[in-house]
Chains A and B, each alone.
Chain A
Amino acid sequence: MKTARQNLTNPTSEALKRRLRACLPADCIIEDTESQRPYECDALTIYRDLPLAVVLPETVAQVQQVLQICDALNVPVVARGAGTGLCAGAMPHPEGVLLVLTKLDRILEIDPLARTARVQPGVSNLSISEAAARHGLYYAPDPSSQIACSIGGNVSENSGGVHCLKYGLTVHNILAMTVLTVQGEALTIGSLGLDSPGYDLMALFTGSEGLLGIVTEVTVRLLPAPEIARVVMAGFDSIDAAGDAVGAVIAAGIIPAGLEMMDRLAVQAAEDFAHAGYPRDAAAILLCEMDGTREEVAQHVEEVTALFKQLGATSLTVSQDEAHRALLWKGRKSAFPAVGRIAPDYYCMDGTIPRGQVTYVLNEIYRLSEHYGLPVANVFHAGDGNLHPLILFDASDPQQVRKAESFGGDILDLSVRVGGCLTGEHGVGVEKLRKMPSQFSGQELAQFEDIKYAFDPALNLNPGKGIPILKRCQEYRALPARHQHD
């Protein structure tokens, strides 16, 4: 999927580079192919390309100038944060500029009384919580990549994590943003209050995958760190029993801080990697975390433990202290790299399904796994229905790549068919673009397209990602055909 550079002598490309050099320090532009390699893909590495230039501005004013130059020359702009995305949303455009925002990495202000933090887009998710910790506060959304992933990227993908059922997604935890339009005009959206006077552009921009504007500052909400959190781990001898136990917790009126399920292959890989004490013989395990005041956590741990016993748990472990809790989570949080050790490559899917369908869906996935001859390990945010099947394959074998893609596509179709959706938190990017018609009608896709035109009439912001462009394909700056994997 890599290709030779095109348009190297294209006059627009030369004019672009000349003007970029005039507004950015030399060490903020990368033009040569070898130095650009680290930026050719995000964490979904099967989709790669190289841009005309990679730029790493150090100030918002420089970002603005880059956008103005690209607008004047009608050149595509792809924004990139830490590059931890999983849908090729930050894959460079071969005729465009890759706008890397990692140098805008300052926490500008923490207001402990109002419980907010004002940060630049390149700040890592975890560093916000670390900076807020001395005030007893934290930023709730915690994607597995939280050590590395940037808040700007979290906003663009509406990232989740393992605590979404109780604490919501990025969209529920941010108040205001400064964004630049494709023409480089600055705009403040949202407010320090809990709503704003016109249309809710915070809702529209969050999860818009860099298609509507460039985020240059974010004000996030901080929450008081809970007094205590404890996790109950239960093993079950069937997927059905584990699925029933998930429903039973919710039916008991308990909203756990996190409720995760892993199936046998995922449990075994994670245990070999993290030595967290997971029961290797279980068909599935649940990790159920309760947080809050000491009294309520004690009560909920007792209730959940009793429920799991009653529903046939084959093993039960309750975290005894913070170190033990961290160890139990370590297995889950390192599930992706752990699975990465048992196969040359893995392909992570992200459909969301109604919780009640989990048994049916997992059994269908096992059937597909046999059909394609590719093993699959399942990690499931059971509390909010977000499924992450990890398809194991070898990327050096083109046949296996094609099979993995078809298998993944079947899983997405299955998620939509049972009343779910294509993507819970990873985004559409390039990866799921051709699957969009399975969830949306032509009229719905056309409405997305009209929204895109309202913000970016020349279609220069992250073209070829997020939403398929149907109507004006003649003039549309689609990605070259090599990125279409039919």
Chain B
Amino acid sequence: MTEQRTSTDSDQSEAIIAALQDARERQAPVYISAGGTKRNLVGRQCNAAELDVSAHRGIVDYQPQELVITARAGTPLTEIAAILAGHQQRLPFEPPLFGGRATLGGTLACNLSGPARPWSGSIRDMVLGVQMINGKCERLTFGGKVMKNVAGYDVSRLQAGALGTLGVLTEISLKVLPQPQKALSLCFAMTADEAVQTMNQRAAEPKPLSGAFWVDGQLYLRLSGAANAVDSTARQWGGESVEDDNALWEALREMALPFFAGDAPLWRFSVQSSARVATDFGETLIDWGGAQRWLRGEHSREQLDRFANDAGGHASLFRGGDRNSEVRPPLGKVERRLQQQLKHSFDPDGILNPGRLYSWL
């Protein structure tokens, strides 16, 4: 640890264990919260009593030369980003910060990553270890602080996207990376179909591509890395250079672009990057080099599922709409049984975020 601890740092894990023991005894499930930024995002409405873990925060260890940081789950991402920036390092998965309130634990539980995800990996890819409290109120540590670790099942990565239904995350170790020497962005006017083709072709070139999204007839490509590699690629690829491109990628990451405004339901498609563009569902925004696509408005779940399935992925209701019904596609019989048994192995009494991922989990 090379930095000073801040006055807000606090280890609340004993209090969290006590709260879970109480919940278990009373058979009164909890809804785990910290920054509160994703309550109405990603998962279903969870009607259990709130367990606020935001006080459990602070950076526990940071070794810049090891490229590893460990922090309590309630630590705001902005605090982590600031300490990393002091050593010219960064969180490679470029997570949304949601006004500075997003926490490390919530980001891992929701598996949220930004525009760099296809090239630098997701938070799921960067997690090296977790400390968590399962539904049996046991404090468990899996993985560690090293890059390679295959002892036992990879329970750390399993927490990514589990929406807190397997345990309360208390401490997380992540791989971090150096900041790129230079970044710039290029813009090209084209249709969505042309953009999907171009994004995939560019991604197959050995160039420092680090972002590719399309909205409103414009394809934006971001290059980042060694300055000379970025400059020479920009010269080869042409396009118009984008002024103040940081603000543009930040707006995309924070879902602050006009496309995301308003209350209309927001649907997320996670599909094969080269999948054809859906034309019958209205306006779309295409990110992650084609692998993540967004849609607005009321749609028939079956139709969206059919399209997503053909495109090799799945559709989910990311924000808005009816959050008491399922927000993710139905799973097959065998997978559903295995997912239920897996949940049961961590949380036999079902006290952790019941129904947040699926109504039956």
Contacts and interface: CB of A to CB of B under 8 A. Distances in A.
B and A form one assembly? yes
Contacts of B203: 115, 224
Interface in A410-435: 419-428, 432
Contacts of A169: 148
A197 B314 contact: yes
Which of A195, A206, A381, A454 gathers most chain B CB within 10 Å?
A195
A273 interface: no
B274 A352 contact: no
B150 A207 contact: yes
Which of A193, A424, A425, A432 gathers most chain B CB within 10 Å?
A193
A295 interface: yes
Which of B63, B146, B154, B161 gathers most chain A CB within 10 Å?
B146
B86 to A, nearest CB: 13
A455 interface: yes
Interface in A80-130: 111-116
B349 interface: no
Contact of A198 (B138, B275, B331): B331
Interface stretch (A39-47, A274-282, A437-445): A437-445
Contacts of B177: 255
Given A189-B335, A444-B142, A455-B341, A195 B111 contact: yes
A1 interface: no
B124 interface: yes
Which of B149, B181, B228, B346 gathers most chain A CB within 10 Å?
B149
B201 interface: yes
A157 B67 CA distance: 24
A33 interface: no
Contacts of A206: 154
Contacts of A165: 147
B125 A172 contact: yes
Interface stretch (A245-253, A311-319, A400-408): A245-253
B312 A250 contact: no
B138 A203 contact: no
Given A200-B160, A443-B140, A352 B332 contact: no
B158 A440 contact: no
A227 B206 contact: yes
Nearest to B177: A255
Contact of A428 (B118, B152, B273, B332): B152
Interface in A183-200: 185-187, 189, 191-200
- A: contact size bracket: 35 or more
B145 A419 contact: yes
A423 B208 contact: no
A385 interface: yes
Contact of A253 (B178, B271, B344, B357): B178
A198 B68 CA distance: 28
B338 A181 contact: yes
A447 B346 contact: yes
Contacts of B344: 454
B155 interface: yes
B147 A195 contact: no
Contacts of B225: 292, 296
A245 B333 CA distance: 54
A440 B129 CA distance: 13
B78 interface: no
Contacts of A187: 332, 334-335, 338
Contact of B338 (A201, A208, A247, A296): A201
A374 B361 CA distance: 54
A453 interface: yes
B292 interface: yes
Contact of A191 (B118, B312, B332): B312
A383 B146 CA distance: 11
A6 interface: no
A436 B152 contact: yes
Contacts of B292: 193-194
B229 A296 contact: yes
B144 A158 contact: no
Nearest to A298: B228
B150 A195 contact: no
Contacts of B153: 204, 207-208, 212, 448, 451, 467
B8 interface: no
A426 B201 CA distance: 36
Contacts of A419: 144-146
Given A135-B204, A225-B206, A421 B314 contact: no
B244 interface: no
Given A200-B160, A356-B63, A253 B179 contact: yes
A255 B200 CA distance: 25
A204 B226 contact: no
Nearest to A439: B151
A293 interface: yes
B146 A352 contact: yes
A61 B34 CA distance: 48
A420 B151 CA distance: 11
15 contacts: A136-B204, A168-B125, A186-B334, A196-B314, A197-B314, A201-B338, A203-B157, A207-B150, A224-B203, A299-B228, A356-B66, A383-B147, A384-B146, A423-B149, A445-B152
Interface of B: 63-68, 88, 111, 117-118, 121-122, 124-125, 134, 138-142, 144-155, 157-158, 160-162, 166, 177-179, 181, 197, 200-201, 203-208, 225-226, 228-229, 232-233, 269-275, 288, 291-292, 311-314, 316, 328-329, 331-332, 334-335, 338-339, 341-346, 357-358, 361
Given A200-B124, A293-B228, 8 more contacts: A116-B272, A192-B272, A195-B124, A253-B179, A419-B144, A440-B152, A445-B152, A447-B155
